[in-house]
Homo-oligomer: A and B are copies of this chain.
Amino acid sequence: MSVAAAFVRSGRKIVAIGRNYADHVMELNNAMPKEPFFFLKPTTSYVPSGGRVEIPRGIVAHHEVELGLVIGKGGRDIKQADAEQHIAGYALAVDMTARNLQDQVKKKGLPWSAAKGFDTFTPIGSYIPKSSILDPHNLNLSLKINGAVKQDGPTSDMIFRIPRLLEHISSIMTLEEGDLILTGTPSGVGPVAPGDHVECSLTDAEGKELSALDFTA
C-alpha cells in the first residue's frame, strides 16, 4: 500500500481550511474570507469509520462533514495548474470542533489547536483513489444524526477551489505524501451528544455513493 493510501497511519499532518462554504460562514456570523486560511489538526485525532468520538466533559462538540484530499506527490509553492498532480486520492472526513472552547479562544486571540485537536476529533473514511472521482467540485456531502439530516451541500459551493487551496497552503508549508487537506464544511453544523449515531455520505452528481462514514459519540 502506498504512503498515500495508508495516510491515516503514515501521514504527518492534517491541514484544515476554515470558512470555505458561504452558507456556513454566515451561520456562524463570521467574516467572509478574502483568502483561504487554515489550521492544523494532529494525526492523533483520527478515528476510523465505525469508531467512537469521545466528547470531553464540558465540551460542546460540533460536526463538520468535509471532503478530504490525500496528498500523493509532496511539494512546495505548488501552482494551481499543477495542483491536480499532487493529489493521490480523497477521503470523507468530519472535522469535529469543540465549539464552546473555539468561541472562547477566538475572543482571546488564542490558537485553535486544542479546540480542533482532541483525540477522536477527526473521524475518517476509507481512502478513495483519485480515479474513482471524476470531478471533486461536483460531489455532495451529507451528515445525519440518528437518521435526521443535518448537513447536505454540494462541493461546488466551495468559495476557494482545490487548486487555490493547495497553492495557498504550499506557499507557507511543504506538503508531504500522506498529508490530508480538509476543504471546509457546508452549513448545518451543530452539536453531537453522547450516544448519538452519526452517518455521513459522499455522493457524485448522479447520487451514487462514493464513500460512507459513521461513528457513535
Kindly state the separation between the CA atoms of A117 and B171 in the bound complex, as whole angstroms. Answer: 11
B residues within 8 A CB of A15?
113
Whether A119 lies near B76 (C-beta < 8 A) is yes
Kindly state the separation between the CA atoms of A29 and B28 in the bound complex, as whole angstroms. Answer: 29
In the complex, how many angstroms separate the beta carbon of A20 from the nearest chain B beta carbon? 14
Give the interface centre of A37, A117, A119, A172 by most chain B CB atoms within 10 Å: A172
Whether A108 lies near B31 (C-beta < 8 A) is yes
Give the residue name and chain of the B residue nearest to A33 (CB).
Answer: B110
Digitize A84-125: 1 where CB-to-B-CB distance is under 8 Å, 0 elsewhere: 000000000000000000000111111111100111000000
B residues within 8 A CB of A118?
172-173
Kindly state the separation between the CA atoms of A106 and B110 in the bound complex, as whole angstroms. Answer: 7
Whether B38 lies near A114 (C-beta < 8 A) is yes
Whether B110 lies near A107 (C-beta < 8 A) is no
B residues within 8 A CB of A113?
15, 38-40, 111-113
